[in-house]
Amino acid sequence: MPSTTATAFLSIAGQSIWVDNITRSMLSSGKLAQYIRDWSVVGLTSNPTIFEKAITGSNDYDTQIGELLAKGIDGEKLFFELAISDLTKAADMFKGVHERTGGVDGWVSLEVSPLLASDTATTIEQAVALHAKANRPNLFIKVPGTPEGLPAVEELTYRGIPINVTLLFSPKQYLAAADAYLKGLERRAREGKNLRVESVASVFISRWEKKANPKLPDALKNKSGIAIGECCYQAYASFYASERFLALQEHGARPQRLLMASTSTKDPSLSDTMYVNALAGARTVNTMPEETLHAFHDHGVMGGLLRVDGGAGPTTLAAMEKAGCSVNGCAGELQQEGAASFVKSWNDMLAKIHAKSSAMVK
């Protein structure tokens, strides 16, 4: 496979390539336009950590921050103004993709405040408000797939809000998110409402190695992330081949697509395209950090498509359990740690924006 066309091969195999980053310069410099035009990129995701780096790591936002401060807007409201300004521009750049694919691709994502992770009612309220404020048909609202977040996923789907369910780490957590999505669609079906409410379920891959490796023998180290992806694909295929979904599909419903997230390799001794190479799956999404996107475009090699029976994944997870590494236990810890990490990034970002704002008004 010619390395220069690796992204094109991945796309033609049926996996949508989204980029997991956004900065104002990425939008204005032509870089995102190049990704769309030449690298088969058909979507974009963001999270609090990404926006923290974008806003506090440059002066690109200073003019708008000054304008918002002059209007008396600060804190979290100021952040959402900055984020929505970027994401609506990105959504407009993906408008052609969105229309060409019938709404399958061309999406961007905005996360609700991580501080609301345990507050279902306020998560719903903020998600509705943010989606209305952005006013773009191709903008997902990201909601964590925590026990408190899942009822929000159901309710928001029922209300017709496109949702990216985030912070999923295992087949069990993935299936809970898929169930919440279908419950929302089933409620719409009972009322005769349109069932075309798009959604993705984001399974985080690379954090597994750091969590699981200390609990595993050498023969199983660095295999857990790929095995989780394989088994989530198995669950995805089975769930959407079920009579429960097919009854909704008959009336226009689409699957909530499985999205492979956190696909950068954290250990420099491992291949920088390891997860992308191994997790190509039909009718799925891979959202790649920019450095991973560049690496795969340069020298990525697809290792074959994911299998509906999970391939080697079920055997690997069974071996992990036998070795004393609880998959569900680790997934629960990873979800809690991921939520805490986003809260830290959120608070750090707001503190740095406040500091920048204070310096600007002196």
User: Collapsing DSSP states into helix, strand and coil, what is residue 139?
Assistant: strand
Token digits for 301? 């090699």
Residues 87 and 22: beta-carbon distance below 8 Å: yes
Quick one: which of 258, 265, 297, 298 has its CA closest to 281?
Answer: 258
Q: Can 362 be counted among the known catalytic residues?
A: no
Q: What is the pLDDT of residue 3?
A: 41
Residues listed for the chain: 362
| Distance of alpha carbon 14 from alpha carbon 279, whole angstroms | 12
Q: How many CB atoms lie within 10 A of CB 214?
A: 9
| 119-124: long-range contacts, CB 8 A cutoff, minimum separation 24 | 119/148, 120/148, 120/149, 120/151, 120/152, 123/148, 123/149, 123/152, 124/152, 124/155, 124/156
Quick one: which of 329, 346, 352 has its CA closest to 114?
Answer: 346
| Distance of alpha carbon 288 from alpha carbon 296, whole angstroms | 9
Q: What is the pLDDT of residue 276?
A: 97
Angle at 15 between CA 107 and CA 5, to 5 degrees: 105
List the chain residues with pLDDT less than 50. 1-3
Q: What is the pLDDT of residue 4?
A: 54
Among the listed residues 133, 142, 210, 223, the single catalytic one is 142
- Say which CATH number the domain at 52 has: 3.20.20.70
Phi and psi at 170, nearest 5°, equal -155, 165
| Distance of alpha carbon 260 from alpha carbon 236, whole angstroms | 12
Domain count, the chain: 1
Range of the domain at 266: 3-361
Q: What is the 8-class DSSP label of residue 147?
A: T
Q: Is the pTM of this model over 0.85?
A: yes
Q: Exposed, middle or buried, 361 (CB in 10 Å: 0-12/13-18/19+)?
A: exposed
Q: What is the pLDDT of residue 361?
A: 63
User: Collapsing DSSP states into helix, strand and coil, what is residue 80?
Assistant: helix
For residues 50-60, one letter each, b for 16 or more C-beta atoms within 10 angstroms of the residue's C-beta and e for the rest, the string is bbbebbeeeeb
Quick one: which of 156, 141, 132, 138 has its CA closest to 101?
Answer: 138
| Distance of alpha carbon 177 from alpha carbon 304, whole angstroms | 27
